[in-house]
Chains A and B, each alone.
Chain A
């Protein structure tokens, strides 16, 4: 049953990708200033929101893990942490392409760009800890997840003092007609995709954890060396 829902949602995503491509390239009008370059906006914004969602998921489940010590929270945090690295990479690359088209520079030390970069670096650190920390690293990673969450407003505020080049948040509600449809369908698509990735990665993490628990039990029982 669960598997059926999962596969149905995955199939819906495949249709959805085709659908958003259609909406973005055939229905939404060409932007007056940025022309064709503006198309990347639909995927950039959706992925940026998913980056936020992944970091929040990771922070909250890290906190829950530290409080309750239940492995499932840790699995979720791990899945979200890795996804945050993926989404961060997508956001930074698509954002740079946008920046080159709109401002004629690849990178600018503007508040939002810098915040995204720093959060991404933190999440890369999180994944590195999980990868190379060895046994016991999950508690430490959870601690880091909590610190990263506390750090978000501080990073944003401290870098905000600089001049802001990035379009303000008011761009999204101000979108009209077919641009708006393309935008929101892309967000919906990536939200579903995010949940699917999260569940899939979580299942793998669960499996890994159970395997290592079983191995330990077998070692204790003297069944394996």
Chain B
């Protein structure tokens, strides 16, 4: 119980800092929207036999690339803040266990990403008439699990890179190859929702569950040893 309290305290601290300045959130959301719009210029064509088929193929990609790219902005900044004001040391010597510290950070990022998704998902629905809300339960499961996976893996890497040179460049370089299975699952699952293939969707949701649990364990295991001064 105490552990959960620590997690929420840290997550809430991050969110409160963010909600006061709103510098990451607005930029993330705007960037994500811009990515969606740029992608539509790149890929949308007049289909001969109904535009819907085309949309079901490309819309999941638009959605998850926009989310992933904007999340990269957010995770780098979340730890930059701790570094700039040298508050990471304060967090590390606080009585909160390291695991709670990490999960709190990841939870903060999760909420931030969820706010961006609250903009991007309706945007995709609005622009491309993609029936994203056809299966609310499955779609919510995909969004929650994918966001959690990105938040967990992203927080570990952002924390690791906090004290290194060239961290802004290195973060996507090391993050994206690790996130590829998650990305495949999110895209395939979402396109399952769009074309109404329930079985495919739930297969990928189970895969996301396996991915998330593997990396939560790996993250808790490595976070302590990579972040200690």
Contacts and interface: CB of A to CB of B under 8 A. Distances in A.
Q: Is the interface of B mostly helix, strand, loop or mixed?
A: helix
Interface residues of A, number: 31
Secondary structure class of chain A's binding surface, majority of residues: helix
A132 B166 contact: yes
A11 to B, nearest CB: 38
Contact of A143 (B160, B169, B170, B177): B160
Contacts of B174: 122, 125-126, 128-129, 144
A118 B180 contact: yes
Contacts, number: 91
A134 B161 CA distance: 10
Contacts of A136: 163-164
A127 to B, nearest CB: 10
Contacts of B163: 136
A146 B221 contact: yes
A133 B207 contact: no
B181 interface: yes
Nearest to A149: B218
Given A142-B225, A143-B226, 18 more contacts: A66-B222, A67-B225, A118-B180, A122-B177, A125-B177, A128-B170, A132-B169, A133-B165, A133-B166, A133-B170, A135-B164, A143-B160, A144-B160, A146-B218, A148-B178, A151-B178, A154-B210, A157-B207
8 contacts: A122-B177, A125-B173, A125-B174, A129-B170, A139-B226, A143-B225, A146-B222, A159-B181
